[in-house]
Amino acid sequence: MKKFFAWFLCMGSLATYAQQQEVIISAKLDKSHNDTVVHLYEPYSGEVDSARIKDHKFSFKMPITKGGSVYIMQIGNRPELGGTLVYLEPGKMNITGKGAYFNDAAFTGDAWVKEWQEVMDITAPDKGDGKRLTELESKYHAAVQIGDEDAATKYVTEANVLEKKRNDMLLKWLKGHPNSGVAGYVLTVYFNRNKQTMDSLYQQLGEHAKASRILMRYKFPGKVDAPPMTIKADTGAVASGPLASLKVGDMAPAFSIPDVDGKMVSLSDFKGKYVFLDFWASWCGPCKAQVPFLKAANDKFKDKNFVMIGISLDSKKEGWVKGIAKHELSWLNLSSLKGWGESAAAAYGIGYLPSNVLIGPDGKVVARDLYDGKIEEKLDATIR
């Protein structure tokens, strides 16, 4: 009897543990269309579940075994109408609304549901400062497409002020919710530009926050989930396939890219030389700050078995050509005008701009991501 009782307790514990590892979602949208399929999927890993609307209701019971993460919930096949982002972890979420979709619906349930709604209110793209940021992004892209750098800079300057205001609000939220699983979303989406800042904020979080699937991916890349398969750029272009992981000592990938006149230029054309690849774009603000250092390095080494090549991730020739002229980039300039769809960017593992790669005469990578005075310093130490 004692053995049976112990076994019964053990089974009860396992049942409780299993229950704790799933999320239960109950939804009632008064005007939702019956028999419509609702999809719920984790965009990073591709895990997906589905439900069908009956009596204007639908529900999910999904295992959450790797910690909390952000999912897309989609009613039907029109994302602009029926899609919403939701943070999920083990527990309960209730959705109620008088319409057919999620706009104006109420999300209630466990504490993490409320926390997610708080962050969504701070970052909402359709009201207040968020709406203005959306407008500025649209104006910025329009300026980029016609090569109007002055207008683009103006929009970026205003956007930076609004982004700082928003990020200050998010920092205050993080301070008040150090153990929320939603903190992982805040860190990786809004503070990912500065690794030092991210690491500092990460250290201030509690164990539950750190155990989220989002932060486990951040801390242990490639261990929890495979890397994402696409990258979306500021220009709207998309690069398919994973970025290469190119290290110092690896052979530099071959490429063949048109110059401004349409002539194809290949890496093999410069066999036996030091080649400095500068990945940039006319719409890239930080790229401009590197121009004086690139000019100094090129002037000093261009006659010493060295060639500098700019590879632009522009998508419009007008903007690219204007950028070359405005900044007087005298070195060889190449671009397929595919934005982040440039295959060389993926081959060289370029996930941000500006970025650069120094290749030796033997075709192997000598250095990566040299900035400011480090460019000339490295070339001084390498080229004799």
Q: 240-288: per-residue pLDDT in tens?
A: 444 557 889 999 999 999 999 999 999 999 999 999 999 998 888 778 8
Q: Is domain 20-110 annotated with CATH 2.60.40.1110? A: yes
136-160 mean pLDDT: 82
In this structure, is the dihedral angle defined by the CA atoms of residues 41, 45, 46 and 48, taken in order, positive or negative? negative
pLDDT of residue 241: 45
Where residue 89 falls among pLDDT bands split at 50, 70, 90? very high
What is the value of pTM for the model shown? 0.61
20-110 matches 238-382 in fold: no
Distance, in Å, from the CA atom of 226 to the CA atom of 217, rounded to the nearest integer, reads 9
| 51: β partners | 38
Please report, rounded to a whole number, the percentage of residues in the chain having pLDDT higher than 90.
56
Mean residue pLDDT of the chain comes to 86
- How do residues 213-237 score in pLDDT, each as one tens digit? 999 988 887 777 765 433 333 333 3
CA distance to 205, 317, 331, 334, 371, per residue, from 260 (Å): 50, 8, 12, 7, 25
Q: Where do the structural domains in the chain lie, given as residue ranges?
A: 20-110, 128-219, 238-382
Q: Which homologous superfamily does the CATH classification assign to the domain defined by 238-382?
A: Glutaredoxin (3.40.30.10)
pLDDT of residue 187: 94
Which residue in this structure is represented by tokens 């904020």? 201
